Structure 1
Amino acid sequence: MKLSAASVLITGAGSGIGQETAIAFARRGARITLSGRKEQPLRESSEKIEAAGGEAQVVVGDVRDASAQQRLVQAAVERFGGLDILVNNAGVVRAGHLEQESDEELIAQIETNLTAPIRLTREALPALRQSEAAAIVNVSSGFGLLGMAFYSTYAATKAGIARFGESLRRELYGEGIHVMTIYPGATETPMMDTAGLGPEQGISYEYPREVAEALVTGIENDEIEVVRGDPALIKANQENPAVVDEQMSSMKASLEQAAAKHRHL
Protein backbone atom coordinates (compact mmCIF):
# COMPACT_ATOMS: atom_id res chain seq x y z
CA MET A 1 0.00 0.00 0.00
CA LYS A 2 1.33 3.43 -0.93
CA LEU A 3 1.35 5.91 1.94
CA SER A 4 2.27 9.18 0.24
CA ALA A 5 -0.55 11.73 0.77
CA ALA A 6 -2.64 9.14 2.66
CA SER A 7 -4.98 10.48 5.35
CA VAL A 8 -4.26 8.59 8.58
CA LEU A 9 -6.22 8.77 11.84
CA ILE A 10 -4.38 7.51 14.95
CA THR A 11 -5.86 7.20 18.44
CA GLY A 12 -3.63 7.43 21.50
CA ALA A 13 -1.21 9.51 19.44
CA GLY A 14 0.28 11.63 22.22
CA SER A 15 3.03 9.25 23.30
CA GLY A 16 4.62 5.84 22.89
CA ILE A 17 3.67 3.64 19.98
CA GLY A 18 0.97 6.06 18.80
CA GLN A 19 3.33 9.02 18.58
CA GLU A 20 6.08 7.05 16.85
CA THR A 21 3.58 5.53 14.43
CA ALA A 22 2.37 9.00 13.49
CA ILE A 23 5.94 10.13 12.84
CA ALA A 24 6.69 7.00 10.79
CA PHE A 25 3.63 7.56 8.61
CA ALA A 26 4.49 11.25 8.21
CA ARG A 27 8.02 10.43 7.06
CA ARG A 28 6.42 8.49 4.23
CA GLY A 29 4.34 11.49 3.19
CA ALA A 30 1.09 10.66 4.97
CA ARG A 31 -1.08 13.36 6.58
CA ILE A 32 -2.02 12.64 10.16
CA THR A 33 -5.02 13.26 12.41
CA LEU A 34 -3.77 12.89 15.98
CA SER A 35 -6.27 11.86 18.65
CA GLY A 36 -6.01 11.65 22.42
CA ARG A 37 -7.44 12.87 25.72
CA LYS A 38 -4.74 15.47 26.49
CA GLU A 39 -3.92 18.35 24.19
CA GLN A 40 -0.30 19.05 25.16
CA PRO A 41 1.11 15.59 24.28
CA LEU A 42 -0.73 15.74 20.96
CA ARG A 43 0.77 19.16 20.26
CA GLU A 44 4.20 17.70 20.92
CA SER A 45 3.49 14.88 18.48
CA SER A 46 2.32 17.41 15.91
CA GLU A 47 5.49 19.47 16.34
CA LYS A 48 7.67 16.40 15.79
CA ILE A 49 5.74 15.55 12.64
CA GLU A 50 6.08 19.07 11.29
CA ALA A 51 9.81 19.03 12.12
CA ALA A 52 10.06 15.90 9.99
CA GLY A 53 8.36 17.74 7.13
CA GLY A 54 4.94 16.21 7.67
CA GLU A 55 1.43 17.61 8.13
CA ALA A 56 -0.80 16.92 11.12
CA GLN A 57 -3.87 18.14 12.97
CA VAL A 58 -4.84 17.64 16.61
CA VAL A 59 -8.30 16.52 17.75
CA VAL A 60 -8.72 16.23 21.52
CA GLY A 61 -11.35 13.84 22.84
CA ASP A 62 -12.07 10.62 24.69
CA VAL A 63 -12.24 7.86 22.10
CA ARG A 64 -14.92 6.14 24.18
CA ASP A 65 -17.39 8.96 23.47
CA ALA A 66 -19.61 8.64 20.40
CA SER A 67 -19.43 12.38 19.77
CA ALA A 68 -15.63 12.27 19.84
CA GLN A 69 -15.62 9.38 17.38
CA GLN A 70 -17.76 11.39 14.99
CA ARG A 71 -15.55 14.47 15.35
CA LEU A 72 -12.41 12.46 14.65
CA VAL A 73 -13.64 11.02 11.38
CA GLN A 74 -15.20 14.32 10.31
CA ALA A 75 -11.97 16.21 11.05
CA ALA A 76 -9.87 13.81 8.96
CA VAL A 77 -12.28 14.01 6.04
CA GLU A 78 -12.62 17.80 6.16
CA ARG A 79 -8.91 18.59 6.57
CA PHE A 80 -7.40 15.96 4.29
CA GLY A 81 -10.23 15.23 1.87
CA GLY A 82 -10.99 11.75 3.14
CA LEU A 83 -9.78 8.93 5.35
CA ASP A 84 -7.50 6.16 4.12
CA ILE A 85 -6.07 4.52 7.24
CA LEU A 86 -7.44 4.10 10.76
CA VAL A 87 -5.06 3.03 13.53
CA ASN A 88 -6.85 1.88 16.69
CA ASN A 89 -3.98 2.34 19.14
CA ALA A 90 -5.39 3.90 22.33
CA GLY A 91 -5.23 1.56 25.29
CA VAL A 92 -5.25 1.36 29.09
CA VAL A 93 -4.29 -1.28 31.65
CA ARG A 94 -4.91 -2.21 35.26
CA ALA A 95 -3.01 -5.32 36.35
CA GLY A 96 -3.23 -7.35 39.55
CA HIS A 97 -5.66 -9.81 41.12
CA LEU A 98 -9.00 -9.83 39.32
CA GLU A 99 -11.01 -9.62 42.54
CA GLN A 100 -9.15 -6.42 43.43
CA GLU A 101 -10.15 -4.63 40.22
CA SER A 102 -12.93 -2.12 40.72
CA ASP A 103 -15.87 -1.96 38.32
CA GLU A 104 -14.51 1.34 37.04
CA GLU A 105 -11.08 -0.15 36.30
CA LEU A 106 -12.52 -3.22 34.62
CA ILE A 107 -14.98 -1.23 32.49
CA ALA A 108 -12.33 1.34 31.52
CA GLN A 109 -10.19 -1.42 30.00
CA ILE A 110 -13.07 -3.02 28.14
CA GLU A 111 -14.43 0.29 26.83
CA THR A 112 -11.07 1.77 25.79
CA ASN A 113 -9.35 -1.34 24.45
CA LEU A 114 -12.29 -3.09 22.82
CA THR A 115 -15.63 -1.27 22.63
CA ALA A 116 -14.19 2.09 21.51
CA PRO A 117 -12.13 0.78 18.58
CA ILE A 118 -15.07 -1.31 17.37
CA ARG A 119 -17.38 1.71 17.47
CA LEU A 120 -14.80 4.03 15.92
CA THR A 121 -14.22 1.54 13.12
CA ARG A 122 -17.95 1.40 12.48
CA GLU A 123 -18.03 5.21 12.38
CA ALA A 124 -15.05 5.34 9.99
CA LEU A 125 -16.14 2.67 7.52
CA PRO A 126 -18.25 4.92 5.25
CA ALA A 127 -15.27 7.26 4.82
CA LEU A 128 -12.84 4.38 4.35
CA ARG A 129 -15.07 2.96 1.62
CA GLN A 130 -14.53 6.16 -0.37
CA SER A 131 -10.77 5.57 -0.43
CA GLU A 132 -9.11 3.89 -3.40
CA ALA A 133 -6.98 1.85 -0.98
CA ALA A 134 -7.94 1.80 2.70
CA ALA A 135 -6.66 0.04 5.79
CA ILE A 136 -7.57 -0.54 9.43
CA VAL A 137 -4.87 -1.35 11.98
CA ASN A 138 -5.76 -2.76 15.38
CA VAL A 139 -3.03 -2.63 18.03
CA SER A 140 -3.42 -5.74 20.17
CA SER A 141 -0.67 -7.06 22.46
CA GLY A 142 1.49 -10.10 23.01
CA PHE A 143 -0.93 -10.74 25.88
CA GLY A 144 -3.63 -11.12 23.23
CA LEU A 145 -1.81 -14.26 22.09
CA LEU A 146 -0.56 -15.44 25.47
CA GLY A 147 -2.56 -14.83 28.62
CA MET A 148 -0.36 -13.54 31.44
CA ALA A 149 -1.20 -14.07 35.09
CA PHE A 150 -2.61 -10.94 36.76
CA TYR A 151 -3.56 -9.41 33.39
CA SER A 152 -6.84 -11.26 32.85
CA THR A 153 -9.06 -8.31 31.89
CA TYR A 154 -6.38 -6.61 29.80
CA ALA A 155 -5.55 -9.86 28.00
CA ALA A 156 -9.24 -10.47 27.31
CA THR A 157 -9.61 -7.06 25.65
CA LYS A 158 -6.49 -7.55 23.54
CA ALA A 159 -7.55 -11.02 22.43
CA GLY A 160 -10.96 -9.57 21.66
CA ILE A 161 -9.65 -6.78 19.43
CA ALA A 162 -7.52 -9.32 17.58
CA ARG A 163 -10.49 -11.55 16.81
CA PHE A 164 -12.53 -8.48 15.87
CA GLY A 165 -9.86 -7.59 13.32
CA GLU A 166 -9.68 -11.11 11.97
CA SER A 167 -13.45 -11.33 11.55
CA LEU A 168 -13.69 -7.87 9.99
CA ARG A 169 -10.86 -8.65 7.58
CA ARG A 170 -12.86 -11.57 6.26
CA GLU A 171 -16.05 -9.53 6.21
CA LEU A 172 -14.37 -6.84 4.09
CA TYR A 173 -12.33 -9.20 1.92
CA GLY A 174 -12.30 -8.03 -1.70
CA GLU A 175 -13.86 -4.65 -0.86
CA GLY A 176 -10.67 -2.57 -0.89
CA ILE A 177 -10.23 -2.23 2.89
CA HIS A 178 -7.29 -4.14 4.33
CA VAL A 179 -7.30 -5.08 8.03
CA MET A 180 -4.09 -5.75 9.96
CA THR A 181 -3.45 -6.63 13.60
CA ILE A 182 -0.15 -5.94 15.34
CA TYR A 183 0.83 -7.68 18.58
CA PRO A 184 3.50 -5.58 20.35
CA GLY A 185 5.59 -7.17 23.06
CA ALA A 186 6.70 -5.21 26.11
CA THR A 187 7.51 -1.70 24.92
CA GLU A 188 9.09 1.27 26.71
CA THR A 189 6.01 3.50 26.82
CA PRO A 190 4.26 5.53 29.55
CA MET A 191 1.78 2.65 29.88
CA MET A 192 4.61 0.44 31.15
CA ASP A 193 6.17 2.95 33.57
CA THR A 194 4.56 1.34 36.62
CA ALA A 195 4.73 -2.26 35.41
CA GLY A 196 7.80 -3.58 37.21
CA LEU A 197 8.11 -6.35 34.63
CA GLY A 198 11.62 -7.27 33.52
CA PRO A 199 14.16 -10.08 33.07
CA GLU A 200 13.09 -11.76 36.32
CA GLN A 201 9.70 -12.39 34.71
CA GLY A 202 11.22 -13.25 31.34
CA ILE A 203 10.27 -9.86 29.87
CA SER A 204 12.52 -7.79 27.61
CA TYR A 205 11.57 -4.41 26.17
CA GLU A 206 11.82 -2.80 22.77
CA TYR A 207 11.51 0.84 21.78
CA PRO A 208 8.26 2.38 20.47
CA ARG A 209 10.00 3.39 17.26
CA GLU A 210 10.76 -0.26 16.49
CA VAL A 211 7.12 -1.24 16.93
CA ALA A 212 5.97 1.74 14.86
CA GLU A 213 8.30 0.88 11.99
CA ALA A 214 7.06 -2.71 12.05
CA LEU A 215 3.46 -1.46 11.96
CA VAL A 216 3.95 0.94 9.06
CA THR A 217 6.08 -1.52 7.11
CA GLY A 218 3.35 -4.10 7.65
CA ILE A 219 0.79 -1.78 6.07
CA GLU A 220 3.11 -1.02 3.17
CA ASN A 221 3.47 -4.76 2.54
CA ASP A 222 -0.24 -5.60 3.08
CA GLU A 223 0.57 -7.87 6.01
CA ILE A 224 -2.30 -9.52 7.89
CA GLU A 225 -0.53 -9.83 11.23
CA VAL A 226 2.67 -8.45 12.73
CA VAL A 227 3.83 -10.32 15.83
CA ARG A 228 6.51 -8.90 18.15
CA GLY A 229 7.81 -10.40 21.38
CA ASP A 230 8.91 -13.98 22.02
CA PRO A 231 7.81 -16.21 19.12
CA ALA A 232 9.00 -19.39 20.85
CA LEU A 233 6.87 -18.74 23.93
CA ILE A 234 3.85 -17.81 21.82
CA LYS A 235 4.23 -21.01 19.81
CA ALA A 236 4.59 -23.08 22.97
CA ASN A 237 1.41 -21.53 24.35
CA GLN A 238 -0.47 -22.45 21.18
CA GLU A 239 0.82 -26.02 21.06
CA ASN A 240 0.92 -26.96 24.74
CA PRO A 241 -0.49 -24.29 27.06
CA ALA A 242 -0.22 -26.56 30.10
CA VAL A 243 3.57 -26.43 29.79
CA VAL A 244 3.43 -22.62 29.81
CA ASP A 245 1.18 -22.81 32.89
CA GLU A 246 3.97 -24.68 34.67
CA GLN A 247 6.61 -22.22 33.49
CA MET A 248 4.60 -19.24 34.72
CA SER A 249 3.89 -20.90 38.06
CA SER A 250 7.59 -20.71 38.91
CA MET A 251 7.45 -16.94 38.37
CA LYS A 252 4.05 -16.35 39.93
CA ALA A 253 5.30 -14.56 43.04
CA SER A 254 7.49 -12.14 41.08
CA LEU A 255 4.73 -11.60 38.50
CA GLU A 256 2.28 -10.78 41.27
CA GLN A 257 4.66 -8.25 42.80
CA ALA A 258 5.48 -6.67 39.44
CA ALA A 259 1.83 -6.38 38.40
CA ALA A 260 0.56 -5.01 41.70
CA LYS A 261 1.33 -1.37 40.84
CA HIS A 262 0.79 -1.58 37.09
CA ARG A 263 -1.98 0.91 36.42
CA HIS A 264 -2.38 3.25 33.44
CA LEU A 265 -5.97 4.38 32.94
Structure 2
Amino acid sequence: MNLEEKRVLITGGSSGIGLAIARAMLAKGARVVVTGRNGKRLAEAVGSLQTGGLPATGFVADVATQQGRALTLQEATEILGGLDVLVNNAGGVRAGRLENMAEEEIRTMVEVDLVAPILLTQAALPHLRASGDGLIVNVTSGIALVGAPFYTTYAAAKAGLSRFGEALRRELKGEGIHVLTLYPGATDTPMMGTSRAGSELGFTREPASAVADALIDGIEANVFEVIRGGEARAKMIAANRDDPATIDERFMTMKPALEEAVSDHFAL
Protein backbone atom coordinates (compact mmCIF):
# COMPACT_ATOMS: atom_id res chain seq x y z
CA MET A 1 0.00 0.00 0.00
CA ASN A 2 1.07 3.52 -0.81
CA LEU A 3 0.22 5.65 2.23
CA GLU A 4 0.18 8.99 0.45
CA GLU A 5 -3.18 10.73 1.10
CA LYS A 6 -4.49 7.70 2.99
CA ARG A 7 -6.94 8.49 5.79
CA VAL A 8 -5.65 6.87 8.97
CA LEU A 9 -7.12 6.32 12.43
CA ILE A 10 -4.73 5.24 15.20
CA THR A 11 -6.05 4.29 18.63
CA GLY A 12 -3.76 4.81 21.60
CA GLY A 13 -1.85 7.33 19.53
CA SER A 14 -0.87 9.80 22.22
CA SER A 15 2.45 8.15 23.10
CA GLY A 16 4.77 5.25 22.46
CA ILE A 17 4.32 3.03 19.43
CA GLY A 18 1.03 4.66 18.40
CA LEU A 19 2.56 8.12 18.31
CA ALA A 20 5.60 6.81 16.45
CA ILE A 21 3.34 5.16 13.85
CA ALA A 22 1.43 8.41 13.43
CA ARG A 23 4.65 10.32 12.85
CA ALA A 24 5.94 7.75 10.36
CA MET A 25 2.67 7.69 8.42
CA LEU A 26 2.51 11.47 8.26
CA ALA A 27 6.02 11.43 6.82
CA LYS A 28 4.66 9.21 4.04
CA GLY A 29 1.94 11.72 3.18
CA ALA A 30 -0.97 10.18 5.09
CA ARG A 31 -3.64 12.15 6.93
CA VAL A 32 -3.84 10.97 10.51
CA VAL A 33 -6.28 11.06 13.42
CA VAL A 34 -5.10 9.76 16.79
CA THR A 35 -7.11 8.96 19.91
CA GLY A 36 -6.22 8.48 23.54
CA ARG A 37 -7.72 8.58 27.03
CA ASN A 38 -5.40 11.18 28.55
CA GLY A 39 -6.39 14.62 27.30
CA LYS A 40 -3.21 16.41 28.33
CA ARG A 41 -0.92 13.80 26.81
CA LEU A 42 -3.03 13.68 23.65
CA ALA A 43 -2.89 17.45 23.19
CA GLU A 44 0.89 17.39 23.56
CA ALA A 45 1.17 14.55 21.06
CA VAL A 46 -1.02 16.24 18.45
CA GLY A 47 0.89 19.48 18.92
CA SER A 48 4.17 17.67 18.22
CA LEU A 49 2.68 16.04 15.11
CA GLN A 50 1.31 19.29 13.76
CA THR A 51 4.72 20.95 13.85
CA GLY A 52 5.45 21.94 10.29
CA GLY A 53 1.81 21.88 9.25
CA LEU A 54 1.42 18.11 9.13
CA PRO A 55 -2.24 16.97 8.77
CA ALA A 56 -2.74 15.42 12.20
CA THR A 57 -5.77 15.66 14.48
CA GLY A 58 -6.68 14.03 17.77
CA PHE A 59 -9.53 13.65 20.22
CA VAL A 60 -10.11 11.96 23.55
CA ALA A 61 -11.94 8.63 23.44
CA ASP A 62 -11.86 5.33 25.32
CA VAL A 63 -12.23 2.52 22.78
CA ALA A 64 -12.85 0.03 25.58
CA THR A 65 -16.38 1.44 25.84
CA GLN A 66 -19.21 1.28 23.31
CA GLN A 67 -19.66 5.04 23.53
CA GLY A 68 -15.95 5.61 22.99
CA ARG A 69 -15.85 3.38 19.91
CA ALA A 70 -18.88 5.09 18.39
CA LEU A 71 -17.34 8.50 19.04
CA THR A 72 -14.02 7.37 17.61
CA LEU A 73 -15.49 6.32 14.26
CA GLN A 74 -17.88 9.24 14.02
CA GLU A 75 -15.23 11.86 14.71
CA ALA A 76 -12.51 10.21 12.62
CA THR A 77 -14.64 9.71 9.52
CA GLU A 78 -16.01 13.25 9.75
CA ILE A 79 -12.54 14.75 10.09
CA LEU A 80 -10.99 12.58 7.38
CA GLY A 81 -13.97 12.26 5.05
CA GLY A 82 -13.79 8.48 5.26
CA LEU A 83 -11.32 5.85 6.39
CA ASP A 84 -8.62 3.86 4.61
CA VAL A 85 -6.46 2.57 7.47
CA LEU A 86 -7.36 1.49 11.01
CA VAL A 87 -4.51 0.89 13.45
CA ASN A 88 -5.67 -0.96 16.57
CA ASN A 89 -2.88 0.10 18.90
CA ALA A 90 -4.56 0.97 22.22
CA GLY A 91 -3.64 -1.55 24.89
CA GLY A 92 -2.96 -2.16 28.54
CA VAL A 93 -0.93 -4.50 30.70
CA ARG A 94 -0.68 -5.73 34.27
CA ALA A 95 2.11 -8.19 35.05
CA GLY A 96 2.35 -10.52 38.00
CA ARG A 97 1.32 -13.97 39.19
CA LEU A 98 -2.11 -15.00 38.01
CA GLU A 99 -3.32 -15.90 41.50
CA ASN A 100 -2.46 -12.39 42.70
CA MET A 101 -4.27 -10.64 39.85
CA ALA A 102 -7.52 -8.84 40.59
CA GLU A 103 -10.48 -9.90 38.49
CA GLU A 104 -10.93 -6.29 37.39
CA GLU A 105 -7.35 -6.21 36.05
CA ILE A 106 -7.88 -9.45 34.13
CA ARG A 107 -11.13 -8.23 32.62
CA THR A 108 -9.66 -4.84 31.73
CA MET A 109 -6.78 -6.43 29.81
CA VAL A 110 -9.14 -8.67 27.86
CA GLU A 111 -11.50 -5.77 27.13
CA VAL A 112 -8.79 -3.31 26.06
CA ASP A 113 -6.39 -5.67 24.29
CA LEU A 114 -8.87 -7.99 22.56
CA VAL A 115 -12.56 -7.11 22.74
CA ALA A 116 -12.16 -3.41 21.93
CA PRO A 117 -10.13 -3.88 18.72
CA ILE A 118 -12.49 -6.62 17.52
CA LEU A 119 -15.57 -4.45 18.02
CA LEU A 120 -13.94 -1.30 16.62
CA THR A 121 -12.84 -3.25 13.55
CA GLN A 122 -16.35 -4.63 13.09
CA ALA A 123 -17.81 -1.12 13.19
CA ALA A 124 -15.11 0.26 10.87
CA LEU A 125 -15.51 -2.38 8.13
CA PRO A 126 -18.18 -0.49 6.12
CA HIS A 127 -15.90 2.55 5.96
CA LEU A 128 -12.90 0.44 4.97
CA ARG A 129 -14.94 -1.32 2.28
CA ALA A 130 -15.98 2.04 0.88
CA SER A 131 -12.31 2.96 0.61
CA GLY A 132 -11.67 0.20 -1.91
CA ASP A 133 -8.09 -0.05 -0.65
CA GLY A 134 -8.39 -0.59 3.08
CA LEU A 135 -5.95 -1.77 5.71
CA ILE A 136 -6.30 -2.98 9.30
CA VAL A 137 -3.19 -3.08 11.48
CA ASN A 138 -3.40 -4.97 14.77
CA VAL A 139 -0.61 -4.18 17.23
CA THR A 140 -0.06 -7.28 19.36
CA SER A 141 3.17 -8.28 21.17
CA GLY A 142 6.07 -10.69 20.93
CA ILE A 143 4.48 -12.32 24.00
CA ALA A 144 1.65 -13.41 21.69
CA LEU A 145 4.18 -15.67 19.97
CA VAL A 146 6.15 -16.86 22.98
CA GLY A 147 4.20 -16.80 26.23
CA ALA A 148 6.15 -15.35 29.16
CA PRO A 149 5.52 -16.10 32.83
CA PHE A 150 3.78 -13.36 34.81
CA TYR A 151 2.09 -12.11 31.61
CA THR A 152 -0.56 -14.84 31.37
CA THR A 153 -3.65 -12.75 30.68
CA TYR A 154 -1.77 -10.25 28.54
CA ALA A 155 -0.36 -13.13 26.47
CA ALA A 156 -3.83 -14.64 26.09
CA ALA A 157 -5.39 -11.37 24.93
CA LYS A 158 -2.59 -10.51 22.51
CA ALA A 159 -2.47 -14.03 21.10
CA GLY A 160 -6.22 -13.81 20.62
CA LEU A 161 -5.79 -10.55 18.70
CA SER A 162 -3.13 -12.20 16.57
CA ARG A 163 -5.39 -15.08 15.54
CA PHE A 164 -8.28 -12.66 15.06
CA GLY A 165 -6.18 -10.78 12.53
CA GLU A 166 -5.14 -13.95 10.74
CA ALA A 167 -8.71 -15.22 10.47
CA LEU A 168 -10.03 -11.82 9.41
CA ARG A 169 -7.33 -11.49 6.75
CA ARG A 170 -8.55 -14.73 5.20
CA GLU A 171 -12.17 -13.70 5.61
CA LEU A 172 -11.56 -10.43 3.73
CA LYS A 173 -9.17 -11.81 1.11
CA GLY A 174 -10.07 -10.46 -2.33
CA GLU A 175 -12.47 -7.87 -0.90
CA GLY A 176 -10.21 -4.81 -0.90
CA ILE A 177 -9.16 -4.88 2.76
CA HIS A 178 -5.79 -6.22 3.91
CA VAL A 179 -4.96 -7.18 7.52
CA LEU A 180 -1.44 -6.89 8.95
CA THR A 181 -0.30 -7.95 12.42
CA LEU A 182 2.55 -6.17 14.20
CA TYR A 183 4.49 -7.98 16.95
CA PRO A 184 6.66 -5.49 18.85
CA GLY A 185 9.26 -6.75 21.27
CA ALA A 186 10.36 -4.77 24.32
CA THR A 187 10.02 -1.14 23.29
CA ASP A 188 11.05 2.07 25.03
CA THR A 189 7.58 3.51 25.68
CA PRO A 190 5.64 4.93 28.65
CA MET A 191 3.79 1.61 28.84
CA MET A 192 7.09 -0.06 29.78
CA GLY A 193 7.99 2.64 32.29
CA THR A 194 7.03 0.59 35.35
CA SER A 195 8.86 -2.56 34.25
CA ARG A 196 12.40 -3.09 35.53
CA ALA A 197 13.11 -6.01 33.19
CA GLY A 198 16.19 -5.24 31.13
CA SER A 199 18.51 -6.86 28.63
CA GLU A 200 19.84 -9.29 31.25
CA LEU A 201 16.36 -10.88 31.21
CA GLY A 202 15.94 -10.69 27.45
CA PHE A 203 14.06 -7.39 27.43
CA THR A 204 16.36 -5.29 25.25
CA ARG A 205 14.30 -2.23 24.40
CA GLU A 206 14.32 -0.57 21.01
CA PRO A 207 12.99 2.88 20.13
CA ALA A 208 9.33 3.12 19.17
CA SER A 209 10.46 4.81 15.95
CA ALA A 210 12.23 1.60 14.88
CA VAL A 211 9.02 -0.38 15.33
CA ALA A 212 7.06 2.22 13.37
CA ASP A 213 9.59 2.28 10.52
CA ALA A 214 9.46 -1.52 10.28
CA LEU A 215 5.66 -1.36 10.12
CA ILE A 216 5.78 1.18 7.29
CA ASP A 217 8.13 -1.10 5.34
CA GLY A 218 5.70 -3.97 5.93
CA ILE A 219 2.71 -1.94 4.80
CA GLU A 220 4.45 -0.88 1.61
CA ALA A 221 5.43 -4.49 0.90
CA ASN A 222 1.90 -5.80 1.67
CA VAL A 223 3.21 -8.39 4.14
CA PHE A 224 1.03 -10.35 6.56
CA GLU A 225 3.07 -9.71 9.71
CA VAL A 226 5.96 -7.70 11.10
CA ILE A 227 7.88 -9.36 13.94
CA ARG A 228 10.46 -7.35 15.88
CA GLY A 229 13.44 -8.84 17.70
CA GLY A 230 15.62 -9.94 14.82
CA GLU A 231 17.40 -13.27 14.63
CA ALA A 232 17.25 -13.87 18.38
CA ARG A 233 13.45 -13.57 18.39
CA ALA A 234 13.16 -15.80 15.31
CA LYS A 235 15.24 -18.52 17.00
CA MET A 236 13.14 -18.29 20.15
CA ILE A 237 9.91 -18.61 18.17
CA ALA A 238 11.28 -21.64 16.32
CA ALA A 239 12.44 -23.25 19.56
CA ASN A 240 9.08 -22.57 21.20
CA ARG A 241 7.41 -24.43 18.36
CA ASP A 242 9.86 -27.32 17.94
CA ASP A 243 11.15 -27.86 21.49
CA PRO A 244 9.08 -25.79 23.94
CA ALA A 245 10.66 -27.51 26.94
CA THR A 246 13.89 -25.64 26.24
CA ILE A 247 12.04 -22.34 26.53
CA ASP A 248 10.41 -23.57 29.75
CA GLU A 249 13.88 -24.25 31.16
CA ARG A 250 15.19 -20.87 30.05
CA PHE A 251 12.38 -19.08 31.85
CA MET A 252 12.83 -21.34 34.88
CA THR A 253 16.39 -20.11 35.37
CA MET A 254 15.34 -16.48 35.36
CA LYS A 255 11.94 -16.79 37.02
CA PRO A 256 12.70 -15.24 40.42
CA ALA A 257 14.52 -12.27 38.87
CA LEU A 258 11.84 -11.79 36.22
CA GLU A 259 9.02 -11.89 38.76
CA GLU A 260 10.73 -9.22 40.83
CA ALA A 261 11.50 -7.06 37.78
CA VAL A 262 7.93 -7.01 36.44
CA SER A 263 6.04 -7.02 39.74
CA ASP A 264 5.18 -3.32 39.35
CA HIS A 265 4.56 -3.37 35.59
CA PHE A 266 1.17 -1.74 35.35
CA ALA A 267 -0.38 0.30 32.54
CA LEU A 268 -4.16 -0.04 32.45
Instruction: Report the TM-score, using the length of structure 1 for normalisation.
Output: 0.98
One-letter amino acid of the counterpart of residue 259, structure 1: V
Distance in 1 between residues matched to 2:87 and 2:15, nearest whole Å: 14
Q: Does 1:245 align with 2:235?
A: no
Note if contact 2:137-2:179 (Cα within 8 Å) is conserved in structure 1: yes
Distance in 1 between residues matched to 2:52 and 2:131, nearest whole Å: 25
| CA deviation vs aligned residue, 1:62-116 (integer Å, no higher than 9, x gap) | 1111121112112222111110000000111000100110011111100000000
Distance 1:125 1:201, change over 3 A: same
Note if contact 1:32-1:56 (Cα within 8 Å) is conserved in structure 2: yes
Ranges of 4+ aligned residues in structure 1 off by more than 6 Å: none
Note if contact 2:4-2:29 (Cα within 8 Å) is conserved in structure 1: yes
Q: Does 1:23 align with 2:26?
A: no
Of stretches 142-151 and 52-61 in structure 1, the one that deviates more from structure 2 is 52-61
Distance in 1 between residues matched to 2:90 and 2:161, nearest whole Å: 12
Three-state SS of the structure 1 residue aligned to 2:19 is: helix
Distance in 2 between residues matched to 1:199 and 1:46, nearest whole Å: 32
What's 1:2 paired with?
A: 2
Distance in 2 between residues matched to 1:49 and 1:239, nearest whole Å: 44
What's 1:219 paired with?
A: 219
Q: Does 1:259 align with 2:262?
A: yes
What's 1:154 paired with?
A: 154
| CA deviation vs aligned residue, 1:212-261 (integer Å, no higher than 9, x gap) | 11112211211100001222112211111111101110111111111211
Distance in 2 between residues matched to 1:42 and 1:5, nearest whole Å: 23
What's 1:124 paired with?
A: 124
What's 1:83 paired with?
A: 83
Identity %: 49
One-letter amino acid of the counterpart of residue 223, structure 1: V
Distance in 2 between residues matched to 1:70 and 1:221, nearest whole Å: 31
Q: Does 1:235 align with 2:260?
A: no
Distance in 2 between residues matched to 1:17 and 1:169, nearest whole Å: 23
One-letter amino acid of the counterpart of residue 248, structure 2: D
Note if contact 1:27-1:52 (Cα within 8 Å) is conserved in structure 2: no
Three-state SS of the structure 1 residue aligned to 2:187 is: coil
Distance in 2 between residues matched to 1:61 and 1:128, nearest whole Å: 20
Question: 1:52: Cα distance to partner?
Answer: 4.4
Distance in 1 between residues matched to 2:238 and 2:69, nearest whole Å: 36
Three-state SS of the structure 2 residue aligned to 1:250 is: helix
One-letter amino acid of the counterpart of residue 185, structure 1: G
Q: How does 1:11-50 map to 2 (within 5 A)?
A: 11-50=11-50
Question: 1:5: Cα distance to partner?
Answer: 1.0
Question: 1:132: Cα distance to partner?
Answer: 2.3
One-letter amino acid of the counterpart of residue 183, structure 1: Y
Note if contact 1:200-1:254 (Cα within 8 Å) is conserved in structure 2: no
Distance in 1 between residues matched to 2:72 and 2:55, nearest whole Å: 16
Three-state SS of the structure 2 residue aligned to 1:26 is: helix
Q: How many aligned positions are there?
A: 265
Note if contact 2:7-2:80 (Cα within 8 Å) is conserved in structure 1: yes
Question: 1:130: Cα distance to partner?
Answer: 0.3
What's 1:111 paired with?
A: 111
What's 2:174 paired with?
A: 174
Let me know the Cα RMSD of the aligned residues.
Answer: 1.0
Distance in 1 between residues matched to 2:117 and 2:216, nearest whole Å: 19
- Give ranges in structure 2 of 5+ residues lacking alignment: none
